[in-house]
Structure 1
Amino acid sequence: MSDNPVSNDTATTTTGPRSVGLRWIMPVVVVTVFTSLLGLMYLAYVAKPDQNLHNYPIAVVNNDVGDSFGPPGQQSTVNYGTQVLDAITTNTSDEKFDLQVVGINEAQQLMQNGEVYGALIIPGDFTKQIGILGTGSVVPGDVQRPAITMETNPRLGPFSTSISTRFANETVSAVNTALGAQLTDRVQQQLGTGTQLSAATRLTLAEPVRAIVEPYHGVPEGSGQGLTAFFYALTILLGGMTGAMTVHAIIDSMLGFAPTEYGPYFSHAPASKISRLRTLVIKWATMVATAALSSGALIGIGSALGVHIDQPFELFLFSTFAMTAVGVTSLTIMAAVGSIGVLVNLILFVILGMPSAGGTIPVEATPRFFGWLADFEPLRQVYLAVRSLMYFDGSAAAGLAQGFWMTAVGLAIGTVSGVLITWYYDKKGLTRSSRTNAATAIPA
């Protein structure tokens, strides 16, 4: 519904064949551009995540204490873990991965806060196990290859687990290439040149390290493999946006600024003598009540379906807050620009929001443009807070703090700009009463 309704009865218009043709072409052009933008954003978002990988955060921990090798009196200390760590940091692309070399306690804290997608851990007895493998490979009996463990963070989404797993496998493959030849030479030297290693021994020594991939904290039942937080956040945002459009249309109809249709029939009440600012405030108040009831319904539905939620009451409060913020901003946009505000809202909240949310594919695996959008796009902020409340026990560091404060900023911008814009329209006499329709009509 437009905030500047057209009055065909009082406006003087001149329409020729050319202007009529343009009017019919306009909706075709608008829909085509809108659909093209939708396709561009979504296909760019999902098409090549491996090629778009950048600054993907992974913690690397070296717990290896090393070991001594050689005959008594000639022993030397070796630390294969340090060699592996140096190789990983040197050969890993700085552009694709953000490797954070930390201790085990800090790595666990980063995982708990959802700040890294995985932790690659070299165990404390890594060097010792390598030495045992070298000796055991030429002595009858069972021998176990040492392991490097990748602890994934599946609560950040299933796709992140896939990337972290592939990183671990590629890293271990590179480690085997480097250590395999070194270990084979060491064992051959210990046996002497007169003894040749068997084929089975060479195969064992060529790939001395194996990868173990396991979740740091598995996703609980009822979490959709880490996807319920994204779809819950999306529901909040769509509820706020579509709710605002519905409130806008119904209240405009009740106040006589737009017709109400019932199938083939319609009614159009006389336009009320009410200011734009007061009309917007009424819509805002309606949206607040709608947000509270809708958020309560979402919590009830989630409980009935067995959806895992760490902090249900806090999630209800934040859902109400976020849905209100989205609804207030959407109503402000429609009050400012009229019916075209529907398209503006769709672009702002949906087309730009979904690819930059990071709920299905990590932001670090999308084109860098989406990473820039993720700094302020509403869906991203709502998702971070919802994810924290559903999976990370409401931890502020896990996204709740950023989500709350960014949503608060959005609500403040929507409220202040709504008041200023509608107040300015009222002050200029651009009211919505029938008495001024002729002066503010748009020529056909």
Structure 2
Amino acid sequence: MANPEEGDHATGRRSQARVWLVPAVVVSLLMALLATMYLAYVVDPSKHLHGFPIALVDQDTGDVLGGQPTNVGKQISDALVQQIPSDKIDLRALGINEAQHELSSGNVYGAIVIPSDFTKRLGIFATASVVPGDVSQPIITVYTNPRTGSFSPQVVQTVAGGALARANQTVGERLTETVRTQLQSSGGGQAPELVGLSRLMLAKPIDVVVTPFHPLPAGTGGGLTAFFYTMMVLLAGFTGAMVINGMVDSSLGFAPTEFGPWYVHYPPTPISRLRTLLLKWAIITGTAPVVAAIFMGVAHWLGMPIDRPLVLFLYSTFAIIAVGVTALSIVSALGTAGMLINLILFIVLGLPSSGGTIPIEALPNSVARLADFEPMHQVYLGIRAILYFNADGAAGLSRASWMTLLGLAIGLSLGAIITRYYDRKELHRAPTAAR
């Protein structure tokens, strides 16, 4: 015959384990996921480069060097294509107008531009090494695109700088040999030595100029304001939804309202799950434009430039509503566990895959794939396009708008269908006896 006391002790142990063990395990797993996601994307971005887009513009028309028709620009561009690893860098051969358009839309992170008179200037520079006269080094310009983020210009400079340094050395060796051959021909078979300064000039004849394309104005945090504004919008939707959920449930009597050591537990209100969710949706929808206006007011007060204020206000409001509605639907469907799901969906997985600090093309593939659907990346594309690219749809605003609309539709459908199902099954919000 079973001993009742042993059964009570076993029940007590299970109850104690539920009190302390389950929360400890959940928090530990959540922090493990957070550490993995956050450190994976920031430890070594250059190691994870894949498909990083850089434009290559070769305008050189060529000239005659050493009595031979030559196009050094084409030689350099061909060498760049061979030297720059295609599995890491997407080097796109474009015309100058197309490259400028891609830079203006944020579709490439930088551009290497070889001017039309490059070979001609190289020949003049070679001649100036032995003939007196004014001369300037031939230039190759590397444009960075600071509006695509604070980290991408560093990658462009590293990749382009390393490749062009090798090209500069190769061109210098060939140019030095050409000048020596010409001197030998004019000197009656003897090859006079080049003076030290001439050798130094010819060794690295190309002046590589790195300059930003459409530099960011003051007050943009070096390209970080779009990312932090995105964080504000996501937190407004996510955190706002959690606050609204808790306060509405307390007011309707489904949870106690606590004030320090005191609390009030109102009698439960006879209201369906669907109507409760509709009430919460209405509150977040009404609050969103107020919060969006507050964000813009604070940004203006701090001197942050906003060239398209109406578009920023409308999209921020839209994004806050979409995130808030979806977060409320998840909590309504899953209860307390929904808060954890929301945290993972909108923050833990969203921040490293947003592309706001490190480009998507410099993230591990497992993290980069999250950007296809993660809300924070979609919102970031929209905010960045509005703040830095004159609200250009091609710069990400079109995708952001459609993805935000899709997220809102999913949130509305999920919440309405599940709460309606609960109501039809008479799964009312009432205490359940503990087992």
TM-score for both structures, normalised by structure 1: 0.93
Give the Å deviation of 1:221: 1.7
- Where does 1:413-432 land on structure 2 (aligned, <5 Å)? 413-432=410-429
Matches within 5 A, 1:322-341: 322-341=319-338
Length, aligned pairs only = 423
Are the counterparts in 1 of residues 181 and 191 from structure 2 also a CA contact under 8 Å?
no
Q: Say if 2:125 is the partner of 1:133.
A: yes
Structure 2 match to 1:282: 279
Cα deviations by residue, 1:74-110 (Å, 9 ceiling, x for unpaired): x431110000010001111011100110000000000
Paired position in structure 1 for 2:102 = 110
**Mapped contact 1:334–1:342 kept (Cα < 8 A):** yes
Q: In structure 1, which of residues 59, 64, 72 is the aligned counterpart of residue 55 of structure 2?
A: 59
Which amino acid in structure 2 is aligned with residue 137 of structure 1? S
Q: Measure how far apart 1:127 and its partner are.
A: 0.2
State how 1:7-406 maps to structure 2 within 5 Å.
15-70=11-66, 75-192=67-184, 193-406=190-403
Q: C-alpha separation between the residues in 1 aligned to 2:36 and 2:339?
A: 20
- Deviating more after overlay: 14-23 vs 61-70: 14-23
**Percent of aligned pairs with the same residue?**
49
> Are the counterparts in 1 of residues 83 and 163 from structure 2 also a CA contact under 8 Å?
no
After superposition, what is the alpha-carbon deviation per residue over 1:18-71, rounded to whole angstroms, capped at 9, x for unaligned?
Answer: 44224311111111111111111100010001111111100110011111234x
Distance 1:259 1:148, change over 3 A: same
Task: Name segments (4+ residues, structure 1) moved above 4 Å.
Answer: none
Classify the secondary structure of the residue corresponding to 2:112: strand
Q: Which amino acid aligns with 1:379?
A: M
Contact 2:354 2:377 survives alignment (8 Å): yes
- What secondary structure does 1:272 align onto? coil
Task: Indicate conservation of the 8 Å contact 1:172/1:210, yes or no.
Answer: no
CA contact (8 A) 1:117 1:160 kept: yes
Q: Secondary structure at the match of 2:50?
A: coil
Alignment partners' CA distance in 2, 1:282 and 1:120: 55
RMSD in angstroms over aligned alpha carbons? 1.6
The AA in structure 1 aligned to 2:123 is G
Partner of 1:3: none
Normalised TM-score (structure 2): 0.94
Over residues 375-427 of structure 1, what are the superposed CA-to-partner deviations in whole Å (9 max), with x where a residue is unaligned? Answer: 11100000100111111111000110000000000000000011110011111
Work out whether residues 329 and 415 of structure 2, in 8 Å CA contact, stay in contact via their aligned partners in 1: yes
1:137–1:143 CA contact under 8 A, matched in 2: no
State whether residues 113 and 397 of structure 1, in contact with CA within 8 Å, keep that contact through their aligned partners in structure 2.
yes
Letter in structure 2 aligned against 1:112: S
1:43 partner letter: L
Give the superposition deviation at 1:224. Answer: 1.1
Question: Residue 86 of structure 1 aligns to which amino acid in structure 2?
Answer: D
**Tell me, what secondary structure is at the counterpart of 1:95?**
coil
**Closer, same or farther: CA 59–442 of 1 in aligned 2, 3 Å:** farther
Contact 2:151–2:358 (Cα < 8 Å) also in 1: yes
In structure 2, the gaps of 5 or more residues are: 1-8, 185-189
Q: 1:50 to 1:406 in 2, by over 3 A?
A: same
Equivalent residue, structure 1, for 2:187: none
Q: 1:6 maps to what in 2? A: none
Amino acid aligned to 2:144: T
Deviation at 1:326, TM superposition (A): 0.2
CA displacement at 1:144 relative to structure 2: 2.2
Alignment-mate amino acid for residue 249 of structure 1? G
